[in-house]
Structure 1
Amino acid sequence: MTIDPVAPGPAGAGGGYGESLFEPWQPGEGERIDLGSLAYDHVTRARLRALGVGPEVRCCDVGAGTGTVARWLATAGGAGEVLAVDRDTRFVDPYAGGALRTLTADITAPDFDPGRFDLVHARFVLMHLPDRHRVMAGLRDLLAPGGCLVLGDPVDLTTAGPPDTPYRRAMRAMWRALGATIGTDISWTPDYPRLLRELGLTGVGAEVFVPALVPDAPITAFWLDTWDRTREAMLATGLVDAGVLDEARAALLSGTVADLSPGLVTAWGRLP
């Protein structure tokens, strides 16, 4: 049987992100999110700078999480106004003030309309939404003329094929578990440039960053924590057993994986 590691499977049987997995009230969830931020924030910041973040720029950071991007935009990024949006803003609320505001909202709601912005950014958000194309169009509609939409989600370059190592089997099980539990799907992310162009955006570009999968890297700790939080769902896929997961963990911790982590596709385009 051929297994697609990034197929969503039976979507969202247990609820969306933060409802049946990765609930924000769980101990350590903010720290897990921050591990991902440590792995990817420098790439996001560099791209936003290259796209012209600075004084007078009005920004909306969608799915702000712990607010590392929004907080940077409002301070070192020098943006004139930053709105951090999330369904649960508990991690970023303590930093609100000055240029940074927070908004607790569901971006999938038909009446979501927080205003118009020169920059709209969303990272690791659309991968969890079944109606992502409608949401993408809604995010485009938040742009002021000349404004830039910047979107990022994972791309998995390795686990679909051989060798059939414990690490690759664990990653396959994780993607399948996330798909079955909360509807996560990353199979479409290489199409980001085309999707942005179809939304009528111009100056479309994209890049991929794959962080080093070494024992002391934040991304390694992120995957280990994520596997711990999804262990039962991963086992329920039937793609791995407890022994395989333990072998995969040991390989990450010892630095013997010799493979690629899933990476980040960042794509952007401007409203004419």
Structure 2
Amino acid sequence: MGNDVVLAADYSTGVLSKDTPTEYERIHLLQDWIDPETREVISKIGVQPGWRCLEIGAGAGSVANWLADECAQGSVTAVDIDARYLNDLNRPNLRVLEGDIGAMSFEPGSFDLIHARLTFCHLPNRNEVLADAVRWLAPGGWLVIGDLFSFPEEFSTYELRRRFLSGMAKLYQAQGSDMAWAPTMPSRMGQEGLRTIGTRMMANNVGDGSAYDRFSLVNTRQHCVYLVERGLLTMEEMDRLVAQLDDPTFLELRTITIYAWGQRP
């Protein structure tokens, strides 16, 4: 089967499109999993009430909403390529912008905090956007990025999961994603002139009953449906993959969440 049939056109129309019936549930489970870690990381840099914040890839708005509380005397700009899940955010200090962050421009020095989570890995022009974000920071401002490093399929000890993970990798590659980019964030921040750079990492297992595991169940189903529709998996294989996640003997280290942050001098 040719790539023009199998693979996604881009992020907004692919497997993670908000037109997908389970995407709303998937994003909210993602928030349940990672919001506590995100808030802890951002809080450690010392969020101030008057800060001007930019949230890149705002999703369903949990971080933007939290920042609107933390920076009640400041402002939050929430950007997403598809902002339909942000329509209910009605805060006087929060504005929503729909569009591709790679095609947007803000004045230098516009923000005291720029945050993105699980977004840069899906931007085909991620390095250029990182450079832009540094320019958009005010002196003393912070850039905070959280992203996933996904272990390649060969790290799985299960043959069917290796095929599934290989299919996921092909989909992501076709839409310009790079699930191995995250470890380069600290050095790239330094190369762009940021200082006081810090990092934090967290291992994520599938099969341990954690919040990440609950997110992974819906995530796996959603990706499986997409792969079945394109002939990369059968329905029987999809059922086996999903059932495996409930097997008490199953456990797999799947990703590492990496946070990196730096301050503009």
Indicate the TM-score class for this superposition, using the shorter chain for normalisation. Answer: 0.7 to 0.9
SS across alignment from 2:198: strand
1:59 offset after TM fit, Å?
0.9
Asked if structure 2 preserves the Cα contact closer than 8 Å seen for 1:89 and 1:102, the reply is: yes
Q: Which has the higher contact order (CA 8 A, sep 6+)?
A: 1
Question: In the alignment, does 2:26 pair up with 1:38?
Answer: no
| 2:168 equivalent in structure 1 | 174
| 2:134 equivalent in structure 1 | 140
Residues paired across the two proteins, number: 260
- Structure 2 residue aligned with 1:154, among 121, 131, 148? 148
| 2:43 equivalent in structure 1 | 49
* Structure (1/2) with the larger helix percentage: 2
- Structure 1 residue aligned with 2:253, among 247, 254, 260? 260
Matches within 5 A, 1:52-131: 52-75=46-69, 80-109=74-103, 111-113=104-106, 116-131=110-125
1:223 offset after TM fit, Å?
2.4
Matches within 5 A, 1:207-222: 207-214=200-207, 216-222=209-215
Matches within 5 A, 1:226-237: 226-231=219-224, 233-234=226-227
> Cα deviation per residue 1:70-99 (whole Å; 9 max; x = unaligned)?
111112575732111112222122112222
CA distance in 1, matches of 2:202, 2:91: 32
CA distance in 1, matches of 2:154, 2:263: 33
TM-score, normalised by the number of residues in structure 1:
0.84
Question: In the alignment, does 2:204 pair up with 1:204?
Answer: no
Gaps of 5+ in 2: none
Deviates more, 1:97-106 or 1:168-177: 168-177
TM-score, normalised by the number of residues in structure 2:
0.86
Asked if structure 2 preserves the Cα contact closer than 8 Å seen for 1:84 and 1:103, the reply is: yes
Question: In the alignment, does 2:16 pair up with 1:22?
Answer: yes
Asked if structure 2 preserves the Cα contact closer than 8 Å seen for 1:209 and 1:263, the reply is: yes
Question: In the alignment, does 2:185 pair up with 1:192?
Answer: yes
> Cα deviation per residue 1:11-38 (whole Å; 9 max; x = unaligned)?
x953221223322233332221111111
Computed over aligned residues only, the root mean square deviation of the Cα atoms, in angstroms, reads 2.6
CA distance in 2, matches of 1:214, 1:114: 45
Matches within 5 A, 1:242-261: 242-261=235-254
Task: State the percentage of identical aligned residues.
Answer: 31
Deviates more, 1:96-105 or 1:136-145: 96-105
Gaps of 5+ in 1: 1-8
CA distance in 2, matches of 1:245, 1:30: 21
Distance 1:152 1:119, change over 3 A: same
Asked if structure 2 preserves the Cα contact closer than 8 Å seen for 1:106 and 1:112, the reply is: no
1:49 offset after TM fit, Å?
0.1
1:201 offset after TM fit, Å?
0.6
Deviates more, 1:83-92 or 1:13-22: 13-22
1:152 offset after TM fit, Å?
1.6
CA distance in 1, matches of 2:46, 2:261: 12
Asked if structure 2 preserves the Cα contact closer than 8 Å seen for 1:206 and 1:266, the reply is: yes
1:270 offset after TM fit, Å?
0.8
Asked if structure 1 preserves the Cα contact closer than 8 Å seen for 2:208 and 2:251, the reply is: no
SS across alignment from 1:262: strand
1:252 offset after TM fit, Å?
0.9
Distance 1:13 1:175, change over 3 A: closer
Asked if structure 2 preserves the Cα contact closer than 8 Å seen for 1:16 and 1:128, the reply is: no
